[in-house]
Amino acid sequence: MTWRFGLTEATFEPLWLTHWVLAATLALPILFGLLGALFSPRRTLPVALVCVPILLTGVLLLMEYQQAGLLRWQWQVAGVTVSLRLGGVSILMLLVTQWVGAAAALYTPGHLRLTNPGKQARWLWPLMGVLISALSLIWLAADLLTLYAALELMGLAAVGMLLLSGKPAALQAGMRYLLLALVGSLAYLLGVALILGYWGQLNLQALAEVVEPGPVAWIAAALIGAGLALKAALFPLHGWLTPVHESAWTPVSALHAALVVKASLFILLMLWNILLPSSLFAPRFVAWLGMLAIVWGGLVAWRSDSLKTLVASSTVAQLGYLMVAFPLIIGPDIPPLPKALAWEGFWLQLIGHALAKAAMFMAAGNLILATGESSLKGLAGTSRRLPLSLLIFGLASVTLMGLPPSSGFTAKWLLLQAMVMTQQWVAVVALLMGTLLTAAYVFRVFRYSFDETAPRHHYQPLAPSMDLVALALALAAFALGLLAHLPLALLQGGGV
Amino acid sequence: MMTLLLLAALLWPLCAAGNVVWQAYQTPSARRNYFPLVWLTASWPALLLAYGGEAHWSIAAWMLGGEWGLNAISRPWLAFTALLWSVAAVHGRGYFVAEQAKAQAGDQNAERRLLRLALFWPLTFVGNVLLIIAQDIASFYLGFALMTFAAYALVVHSGSQQARLGARAYLILAVIGEGLILGGLLWAAGTAETFMLEGVREGIAAADHGAMMALLLWLGFGVKAGVIGLHVWLPLAHPVAPAPASAVLSGAMIKAGLLGWLYVLPLGAEELSPGLTLLGNVMLIAGIAAAFGAALLGVWQRHPKAVLAYSSISQMGMLTAMVATGLAAPAVWPLLLPGVILFAAHHALAKGALFMGTTISDHMPRWPKPLLFALIALPGVSLTGALAAGMISKWGVKHALYEMDHTYLIMLLTWAAIGTAALVSVCVWRQWQQRQQGGSNAFQWGAWLVALIAALITPLWLPLPEGSIVPPPLTEWLGIVWPFPVGVLLFVSVAYWLRKVGGKAPPAGDLWWLYSPLAAHGVKLAQAIGTRCKAVKGACVSVALAVEQHSMGQLTRLLSSEAWMRHHGSGLMMAFAVVVALLLIWEGMR
Amino acid sequence: MIASFNLIEGGLALCLCVAALACLFDRHLLRASCLFVVFALFMTLAWWWLEAPWLAVAELILGALLTGASLFYALRAYRPNGAASSHRANATPHYDSFRGSWPHGLTRALLALAWCFMMWGAIRFVMPEMVYSPAEHPLVMAAVVIAATAMGAFALHHHLLRRLLAFNILGSGVFLLLAGMAGTEEGAQALISVGLAIAWLGSLLGALLIRHLFLLEGKNALSLDSQTKEQPQ
């Protein structure tokens, strides 16, 4: 199974150009972030110009990957081996990271111009750069040390970004997030300590070869799992997620919900795949929690009064879909067809949710910014005045609901097929119920927004770039359902 | 050529209907002629078609695959139907002269009524033609439904209270009948997996539940054909409909029900199931009962058209009994069939002439009265079998039954003829009582005379197969003729006795006055149930609301544990690790 | 010689344990912070003892000096004559007077015990010699106890500064465990160095946040009801 993560020997050595592209991929975001701190751009154009080279590096890496297949790098730095690899999942997630990051960056100037947050806005750019770099490193890292460093870097950058709005609620939520994230990494490190002590390996590929089931692997997996589940906001460890989004800036929320929680989930999936190749019950346990997450997140979103809480709680439910796929991907005796289907469904759901959730946060942010109210009731009358923002919200929710032909539909269809093949009927019921609940909370938003009775006097006009970026993301999530073969082709070995 | 005629037969009436619509928009009402030539000739192509010989058409594109044809049954049927429609149309032109004058003078009501009649008359006719020539279920049913529902406009024409009652009775029963027919056809067609009437016939003969399908179809068509119990619309609708409409209703459309039986029931088939034989016997009894019961009820009626309606029920009862022999004693059927067709054709024209005759006595031309009333009575006398075509048609049936020794049936049919004679006498007597001078019109009495003559010479023009018409030998004449004088004598003596005793006549429509209170009670019951249901619904809604409120409260309380989870994130993480570790160890140690 | 080594290592482990426990469960915040600095100095000694001088230097600078400074910086917010005095008249500003319910404490204690057993169970397999002579590696024993207790204390406490302290001690325990099990090879050293840096950054950020939160809202703990706004429609 580890070959799916690209943890195998590479056929070709990377070219010298590829080295530079890799360096640029990892370094450019930080560099441009620092430039942003210096100049604090107020227009979209310079940001767009800066995004181009970063996106270019991603495209170059993609071309390189398509030509050479798996790529590996290994360096000795002061006696420590750092290894990276570029597999199918890595390049896919790298591209998603870069494009969603670029979308968030393009959205930011308009948002900052309209909200006028003050001096601390300067810090957003370097933090965003560090976040993108750290995320890219996580997708590429092939040893536990690099993963740990990148994870910590990402966590601190994320906390920093979420704190920027400076409201007391944000500080409190950020404090909780900071403490939990730090403790979560320590739990992860504890697991790594056991692994290092027992097998003496940090390199994932070498580890996958020597690892064997036993108490050390189990306890290490439990510790790592707990720490990463906390960071990935898996039910029931998701409590910190909603307040964090409640008062954060829109582009930060979009980035965080789309990518940051997914990174921890990715590491969790990869490490459990290595440590627990023949476990049946731990993935099942996660799947049961996932079913609860689907229902719980849906219920919380359905009953929430605030638009941002609704969107954030829907993340909990959507992560539940990913959790439900765990026993189909990890474990012994899974027939190859459902395994492949679940694998594809997992990543498609992850990507589709990343795009749609980013779009949804931006649309919600636009609505809140324009109406000046963050409650659902404040949306009354927006159907006439802000049809575009509502349309984006609707398009994104189509993906979240899993209506055809969105990527959410394709992903859930793949997962459903895999579940039916392996006869996991409870998961099927949870999946369908999640769709129902999603429809319930989405239509609750629309019910309020189509209320024409409330008179409305003033709407803050929005920058066109804000709506356009969100629309592009929502459409991408929507169209991915029909173009699902493109990303799935990248997931090497995903096809049957 | 035949195909062209077929097209004309179907499209020309539609042209007539279209012309009515066109006229309604184009011609000012003062100069509008509601019955132009195209309208009068609407049924002529169909008449020509009937004399064009046998033919067959297959049209795959038509609905579920059209199969139309003119065969030994449908050809004579189309002939007498089209002839009656043609004559009735001409008669109608004369009949509606006064109303048309009113409409042209600016009476909007009359205008609307005439437009409606002129529009639906050809449509009804198209339905009638289509059902006769159709050999596939879809066309047949389409034609039947079209005829049935378009005819509503003919019945309700005058718009009076009674007309609306009659039309409502007609419509209610028609809908019931359509439902039964549709159910029977779909069941039989589904069982036999066929789209053709032929297939239905064979399917019913072969199917396990063939008797049930046949029962459905018998009752469904029986609504049209006036089977006893379902006949109540006839005496209600006929007196109120305009005379030409009554003529086609009683002459042509009633026969559509009979034709339906002939098309779908496995008459004369060998080795019928016991259920079908039993059904045949039931039909036989019902037919005889209708033949006698209608006569007994009919003689009390005041309105000549009501009397004629009962006479129709009685005649159709006889026909029902004959059709029943096709099931009860299949061997006789091949011999009987031409007689049945002749009987039906003769009855159609004779009844048409009698109905038209009722308007002649209302608007008497300046003819000698004895001659006029003799002419009015003539088709009735023929109907009893005492004269001309009537005698031949009676004999046609009788000799077939003689061959197979069904003496009881012959006897019953002969006795039923006494009733016919009495009914005809009552009708003529009522007409004599209610006669009125003036307002006669050449179209009116001309068409009547044509119908009269056509009725008397039916065997001469009806395109029956060779040798199927047998003139009765002289020795049998007395046996056929005697019911007529007996019936007249009976009527005279009873009328004399009644004048002394006095008595109250039963109302027209008999059983209707039993059905409608029952139905009204049923409606009331349904309303009561509805009210009860409403109360139950209200209770359900309030319970659901309470449950919702309660569950929402529970949900809110449940969701408050979100805050608990938030506050105990680190503890939960520790528990998560412990649980996963225990799970893994437990699994590993197993 | 071995016995003396064990004696010194055992003493160090004992000191570490005592300092850590005292720091974790002292309600007087100033004293607890001082105890943490002491604990960090003991940690420096432990690194030295484990022949990782670079880690000792890093611990001394990052752990004792900078983290301690951050903690004291956060503590200054609670000074009675500071800006915070306007918010609340707290008689003993450096004292955490919060009392949790006993089921809360009991579950945390049980969970900490479970973690202790869990780690101990894993260490049995990583270092088989420990099964026969648990006193062979007193530092590892101490690390297990410190890490489990700190984890429990982190989940138990409400006061933000005490949670920050618990996090720091937990980190030290984990690092010590890592070094004890994997030795001080380059990989382990790199992991520990990264961890130390991150721990200091986190502590700094946390200290800043604690100050801000106290100055803005007068809060020294994450309130339970801050987000329970979900009301029925």
DSSP per-residue letters across C144-200: HHHHHHHHHHHHH--BHHHHHHHHHHHHHHHHHHHHHHHTT-HHHHHHHHHHHHHHH
pLDDT in tens, A63-116: 888 888 888 888 888 778 889 988 888 999 999 999 999 999 999 988 888 888
- Tell me how close the Cα of B574 comes to any Cα of chain C, in angstroms: 7
Within 10 angstroms of residue A142's Cβ, the number of other Cβ atoms is 26
Give the distance from residue A238's alpha carbon to the nearest chain B alpha carbon, in angstroms.
Answer: 7
Q: Is residue A168 very low, low, confident or very high in pLDDT (cuts 50, 70, 90)?
A: confident
pLDDT band at C231 (very low <50, low <70, confident <90, very high): very low
| Per-residue tokens: C184 | 């001080």
3-state SS class at C221:
strand
Q: What is the pLDDT of residue C91?
A: 43
Say whether C126 and A200 touch across the interface (CB within 8 A). Answer: no
Other beta carbons within 10 angstroms of residue C18's beta carbon come to 15
B579 in reach of chain A (CB within 8 A)? yes
User: What is the Rg, in whole angstroms, of the alpha carbon atoms belonging to chain B?
Assistant: 31
User: What is the greatest pairwise CA distance in chain B?
Assistant: 122
Q: What is the mean pLDDT of chain B?
A: 87
Q: Give the best residue of C98, C101, C107, C111 to mutate against chain B (max B CB count within 10 A).
A: C111
Taking an 8 Å cut-off on Cβ atoms, the answer to whether B577 and C118 are in contact is: yes
Name the average pLDDT for chain A. 88
Has residue B550 got a pLDDT over 50? yes
Domain-by-domain residue ranges, chain A? 288-496
Does the pLDDT value for residue B541 go beyond 70? Answer: yes
The predicted pLDDT at position A456 comes to: 65
Between residues A1 and A50, the one the model is more confident about: A50
- pLDDT recorded at residue B546: 94
* Per-residue pLDDT band at A475 (split at 50, 70, 90): very high
Contact residues on chain C for A169, CB-CB shorter than 8 A: 226
Extract the tokens encoding A153: 């870097």
Out of C107, C112, C230, the one facing B556 most closely (by C-beta) is C230
Please tell me whether residue B3 adopts helix, strand or coil conformation: helix
Let me know if C17 is exposed, middle or buried by CB neighbors in 10 A (0-12, 13-18, 19+): buried
pLDDT at C101 over 60: yes
Question: Cα A120 to chain center, whole Å?
Answer: 25
Among residues B277, B129, B146, the alpha carbon closest in space to that of B211 is found at: B277
User: What pLDDT score does A67 carry?
Assistant: 84
The alpha carbon of residue B536 is apart from the nearest alpha carbon of chain C, in Å, by 28
With an 8 Å Cβ cutoff, are A197 and C209 in contact? no
Per-residue pLDDT for C4 more than 50? yes
Best of A218, A244, A289 to disrupt the B interface (most B CBs within 10 Å) is A218
pLDDT at residue C80, rounded to an integer: 54
Q: Determine the pLDDT at residue C87.
A: 45
pLDDT value for B534: 94
Subunit contact B580:A187, Cβ cutoff 8 A = no
Is it the case that residue A149 has pLDDT exceeding 80? Answer: yes
Choose the closest CB to C228 out of B560, B577, B578: B560
CA-CA-CA-CA dihedral for A28, A83, A255, A223, to nearest 10 = -150
Q: What is the pLDDT of residue C223?
A: 58
**DSSP bridge pairs for A53:** none
Question: Nearest-CA neighbor of A146 among A106, A95, A216, A205?
Answer: A205
B31 φ, ψ to 5°? -105, 10
CB pair distance less than 8 Å for C230 and A300: yes
* DSSP H or E segment with residue A83: strand A80-86
Q: Which residue of B has its CA nearest to A300?
A: B559
Closest CA in chain B for residue C224: B567
C111/B575 Cβ within 8 A: yes
Best of A190, A230, A244 to substitute, by most chain C Cβ atoms within 10 angstroms, is A190
Average pLDDT of span A353-363: 93
Asked if B418 contacts B487 with a C-beta cutoff of 8 angstroms, the reply is yes
Contact between A331 and A278 under an 8 Å Cβ cutoff? The reply is yes
Using the Cβ of B584 and the Cβ atoms of chain A, whether some distance falls under 8 Å is answered with yes
Please state, for a pLDDT cut of 70, what percent of chain B lies above it: 99
Name the CA dihedral angle for B296, B298, B300, B301, rounded to a multiple of 10 degrees.
170
Scan for tokens 């009265």, then name that residue: B369
Question: What pTM was computed for the model?
Answer: 0.67
Q: Which residue of B has its CA nearest to A316?
A: B562
Question: Minimal CA–CA distance to A250: which of A353, A143, A121, A130?
Answer: A121
Least confident of A66-75, A228-237, A486-495: A486-495
Q: In which band, very low, low, confident or very high, does the pLDDT at A227 lie, cut at 50, 70 and 90? A: very high
User: DSSP string spanning B374-388?
Assistant: HHHHHHHHHHHTSSH
Q: How far is CA C36 from CA A6, C20, C99, C167, C177, in A?
A: 44, 7, 22, 11, 18
Higher pLDDT, residue B365 or B134: B134
pLDDT of residue C157: 85
Q: Do C205 and A156 touch (CB under 8 A)?
A: yes
Of C178, C219, C230, the CB nearest to A193: C178
Half-sphere exposure of residue A373: CA atoms within 13 angstroms, side-chain side: 16
B578 touching A (Cβ < 8 Å): yes
Cα–Cα distance for residue pair B379/B444, rounded to 1 Å: 17
Residue B537 has pLDDT above 90, yes or no: yes
Q: Per the CB < 8 Å rule, is B565 touching A238?
A: yes
Contact at CB, B571 and C232, closer than 8 angstroms: no
Highest mean pLDDT among A377-386, B10-19, B458-467, B497-506: B10-19
Residues of chain B with C-beta less than 8 angstroms from the C-beta of C232:
552-553, 556
Mean pLDDT of A156-162: 92
Cα B121 to Cα B244: distance, rounded to the nearest angstrom: 10
Using the Cβ of B499 and the Cβ atoms of chain A, whether some distance falls under 8 Å is answered with no
Chain A hits for C58, Cβ within 8 Å: none
Beta partners for B134?
B68
Q: How high is the pLDDT of residue A254?
A: 92
Least confident residue range of A62-66, B85-89, C66-70, C222-226: C222-226
Query: What whole-number distance in Å separates Cα of residue B444 and Cα of residue B506?
Result: 32
Instruction: Write phi, then psi, for B57 (nearest 5 degrees).
Output: -130, 140
With contact defined as 3+ CB pairs under 8 Å, the chains touching A are B, C
Distance to chain A for B539, nearest Cα, Å: 26
Percent of chain C at pLDDT > 90 equals: 0
Of the candidates A187, A280, A296, the beta carbon closest to that of B577 is on A187
CA–CA separation, B437 vs B360, rounded Å?
9
DSSP H helical ranges for B32-160: 37-40, 44-50, 74-95, 97-105, 108-133, 137-155
Encoding tokens for residue B415? 């006795």
Angle between helices C160-182 and C138-156 (to 10 degrees): 150
The burial class, CB within 10 Å (0-12 / 13-18 / 19+), for A118 is exposed
Considering only CB atoms, B578 lies closest to which of C111, C222, C230, namely: C111
Would you say the C-alpha torsion A183, A184, A185, A186 has a positive or negative sign?
positive
Residues B445-460, mean pLDDT to the nearest whole number? 88
B581 and A CB contact within 8 Å: yes
Distance CA B266, CA B272 (A): 8
Task: Select the residue of B553, B563, B568 nearest C228 (Cβ to Cβ).
Answer: B563
Which pLDDT value is given to residue B548?
92
Average pLDDT over residues A279-287: 89
Closest C-alpha to C21, from C140, C171, C134, C142 = C142
- Burial of A154-177, coded b for 16+ CB within 10 Å and e otherwise, reads bbbbbbbbbbbbeeebbbbbbbbb
User: Which of C111, C232, C233 shows the shortest C-beta gap to B574?
Assistant: C111
Domain ranges, ordered by start, for chain C = 2-56+69-84+101-217
Secondary structure letter of residue B511 according to DSSP: T
Question: CB of C3 within 8 Å of any CB in chain A?
Answer: no
- Mean pLDDT for chain C overall: 78
Which residues in chain B are closer than 8 Å to A296, comparing Cβ atoms? 562
Residues of C in contact with A224 (CB under 8 A): none
A172 within 8 A of B567, measured Cβ to Cβ? no
- Binding-site residues on chain B for chain C (CB distance < 8 A): 552-553, 556, 559-560, 562-563, 566-568, 570-571, 574-575, 577-578, 581
**What percent of the residues of chain A are helix, what percent strand, and what percent coil, each to the nearest 5?**
75, 5, 20
| C188 close contact with A: CB closer than 8 A | yes
Residues of B in contact with A281 (CB under 8 A): 583-584, 586-587
**pLDDT at residue C233 greater than cutoff 60:** no
Cβ-Cβ contacts under 8 Å, B570 against chain C: 151, 154-155
Query: By the 8 A CB rule, do A147 and C175 touch?
Result: no
Q: Count the residues in chain C.
A: 233
Mutation for testing the A interface, residue in C139, C169, C191 having most A CBs under 10 Å: C191
pLDDT tens across B210-267, in order? 889 999 999 999 998 888 888 888 888 888 889 899 999 888 899 999 999 999 888 8
- Please indicate whether residue B289 or residue C133 has the higher confidence score (pLDDT): B289
Question: What pLDDT score does C183 carry?
Answer: 77
Tell me if A100 sits within 8 A of A354, measured CB to CB: yes
Residue A145, SS3 per DSSP: helix
% of chain B with per-residue pLDDT over 90: 24
**Predicted confidence band of residue C79 (pLDDT cuts 50, 70, 90):** low
- The conformational region for residue C16 under phi > 0 = left, psi -120 to 50 = alpha, else beta, is alpha
pLDDT confidence band for B368 (50 / 70 / 90)? confident
Confidence of residue A439 (pLDDT cuts 50, 70, 90): very high
The pLDDT of residue B55: 85
Chain C adjacent subunits, 3+ CB pairs under 8 A: A, B
Asked if B500 is an interface residue toward chain A (Cβ–Cβ < 8 A), one would say no
CB within 8 Å: C198 and A183: no
Q: How far apart are CA A27 and CA A129, in angstroms?
A: 9
* Cα–Cα dist C211/C220, whole Å: 9
Cβ-nearest to C213 among A78, A175, A215: A175
pLDDT: which is higher, C83 or B74: B74
Q: Is the ipTM of this complex over 0.85?
A: yes
Is the distance from CB of A17 to CB of A71 less than 8 angstroms? no
d(CA A29, CA A24): 8
Interchain CB distance below 8 Å, A159 and C205: yes
Instruction: Reply yes or no on whether the pLDDT at A258 is more than 80.
Output: yes
What does the DSSP 8-state code read for residue C224? S
Are C187 and A196 an interchain contact pair (Cβ–Cβ within 8 Å)? yes
The residue-averaged pLDDT of C123-130 equals: 79
> Looking at CA atoms only, how far is residue A441 from chain B in angstroms?
15
C-alpha Rg value of chain A to the nearest Å: 21
Tokens (6 digits) for B538: 């209200």
- Among B556, B566, B577, select the one facing A222 at the smallest CB separation: B577
Which of A99-113, A371-385, A429-443 is the least confident region? A371-385
Cα B266 to Cα B522: distance, rounded to the nearest angstrom: 36
Q: Kindly report the nearest CA distance between residue C62 and chain A, in angstroms.
A: 16
CA distances (Å), origin B149, targets B125, B167, B170, B171, B178: 12, 11, 10, 8, 10
Q: What is the pLDDT of residues C145-160, one digit of tens each?
A: 888 888 888 888 888 8
Q: How confident is the model at residue C230 (pLDDT cuts 50, 70, 90)?
A: very low
> Per-residue pLDDT averaged across A483-496, rounded?
69
Say whether C206 and A175 touch across the interface (CB within 8 A).
yes
